[in-house]
Amino acid sequence: MNHWKNFNKGFFKENAVFVLFLGLCPTLGVTTSAINGLGMGLATTFVLVMSNLVVSVVKSQIPDKVRIPSFIVIIASFVTMVELLMQAYVPALFEQLGLFIPLIVVNCLVLGRAEAFASKNNVVTSVIDGFGMGFGFAMALTILGGVREILGSGTIFGFDLHMFPLDADGNPITMIVFVLAPGAFIALGYLIVLINKINNKSVK
């Protein structure tokens, strides 16, 4: 498999969210706006790339029986790093994402790639795989966040689109349900249908 194919499989063909259904908790939990989705996606990408890198370097050193706990410790260390870095440099985003930052540890995507890919491949392919899957995940979260932000607040990345009528007080009348919990499930459901359609077309 060449590097380009290895990289771009994470975007459509094996997209973590839309096709493999991994890492759904942060996907639904933080995507009330596009910027939150992007931030979460990039934080996860960092952890994914670094854990893939370390796992692929030390894979021959780890006995098979304690493989999973070792991977979890490696991942947890990088998550703690991300936590501290975000707290220091982007405190506003850190507040918004809240609980979901430490929960990157239990994101099935990260452990899944460590177990299924990095523990079987060399360093370069593992890092490329980490970037590909991570950016695919970030893309999915940004799209979902964008859709929910546009429909739910009438903005995208914070810019007002002026697409909804105003009420008597001058506030836009938006489809507020999309920034609430049910909207997350509904928006993701329809996005999966759309991605399935695109993937089926490209196969034919």
Partner 1 sequence: MDYIIIIISAIFVNNIVLNQFLGVCPFIGVSSKVETSAGMAGAVTFVMVIATIVTYLLQKYVLNVFGIAFMQTITFILVIASLVQLVEIILKKVSPTLYQALGIFLPLITTNCAVLGVAILAVQKDYNLIESVIYAISNAVGFGLALIVFAGLREHMDLVNIPKGMKGVPIAFLVAGLLALAFMGFAGLV
Alpha-carbon span 179 to 30, nearest angstrom: 10
Task: In whole angstroms, give the CA distance from residue 28 to residue 184.
Answer: 6
Q: For residue 198, state whether it binds partner 1 (rule: CB under 8 A).
A: no
Q: At what angle do helices 34-58 and 123-153 cross, to 10 degrees?
A: 170
Site string for partner 1, 83-112 (x = CB under 8 A): xx--------------x--xx-xxxx--x-
Q: How far apart are CA 128 and CA 121, in angstroms?
A: 11
Nearer to partner 1, 6 or 183 (CB): 183
Instruction: Verify binding: residue 192, partner 1, rule CB under 8 A.
Output: yes
From first CA to last CA, the distance across the chain in angstroms is 21
CB of 136 to partner 1, least distance (A): 17
180 near partner 1, judged by CB under 8 A: yes
176 is an interface residue for partner 1 by CB under 8 A? no
Distance CA 187, CA 181 (A): 10
Regarding 14 and contact with partner 1 (CB under 8 A), the answer is: no
Considering the rule CB under 8 A, would residue 175 count as an interface residue with partner 1? no
Binders of partner 1 among residues 21 to 60 (CB under 8 A) are 21-29
Backbone phi and psi for residue 173, each to the nearest 5 degrees, phi listed first: -90, 100
Binding site for partner 1 (CB under 8 A): 21-29, 68-69, 72-73, 76-77, 79-80, 83-84, 99, 102-103, 105-108, 111, 177, 180-186, 188-190, 192-193, 196-197
